């Protein structure tokens, strides 16, 4: 029954490895996003004047839009990185775990 399969998966060292790798990667990316974003929000809240600083003398580029645009791009690139690794490396590991656990029951 499926609950045997669950037990076998849980006991499998490969499963522990998958959980460890994926959690580490997901939390690393999440903390990056949270850290940068809330750092930015705190700057907006406590040092608002910083946002309209020009990047260079006479430039029309100011810090606010440049930082926000960089966050849009960076955060999207991070999602792409996660999807690539999860849909290849993690999913292969996952398939291997499932195959082993289901076969072990026969």
**Which residues of the chain form contacts with other proteins (CB under 8 A)?**
2-3, 5-6, 9-10, 15, 18-19, 22, 26-27, 29-30, 33-34, 37-38, 40-42, 44-46, 48-49, 51-52, 59-62, 64-65, 68-69, 71-73, 75-76, 78-80, 82-83, 86-87, 91, 94, 97-98, 101
- In angstroms, what is the minimal distance from the CB of 80 to other proteins? 6
DSSP 7-43: HHHHH-HHHHHHHHHHHHHHHHHHHHHHHHHHHHHHH
- In angstroms, what is the minimal distance from the CB of 31 to other proteins? 10
- In angstroms, what is the minimal distance from the CB of 106 to other proteins? 16
Under 8 Å between Cβ of 56 and 105: no
- In angstroms, what is the minimal distance from the CB of 82 to other proteins? 6
Rounded Cα distance, 63 and 53, in Å: 6
Nearer to other proteins, 57 or 60 (CB): 60
Give start and end residues of each alpha helix (H) in 62-104. 63-85, 91-103
Under 8 Å between Cβ of 52 and 64: yes
């Amino acid at each position: 029954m499926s609950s045997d399969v669950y037990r076998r998966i849980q006991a499998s060292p490969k499963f522990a490895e998958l959980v460890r790798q994926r959690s580490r990667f997901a939390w690393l990316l999440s903390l990056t996003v949270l850290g940068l974003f809330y750092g930015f929000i705190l700057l907006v809240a406590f040092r608002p004047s910083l946002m309209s600083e020009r990047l260079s003398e006479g430039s029309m580029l100011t810090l606010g839009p440049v930082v926000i645009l960089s966050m849009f791009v960076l955060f999207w690139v991070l999602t792409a990185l996660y999807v690539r690794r999860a849909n290849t490396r993690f999913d292969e590991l996952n398939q291997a775990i499932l195959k082993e656990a289901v076969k072990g029951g026969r």
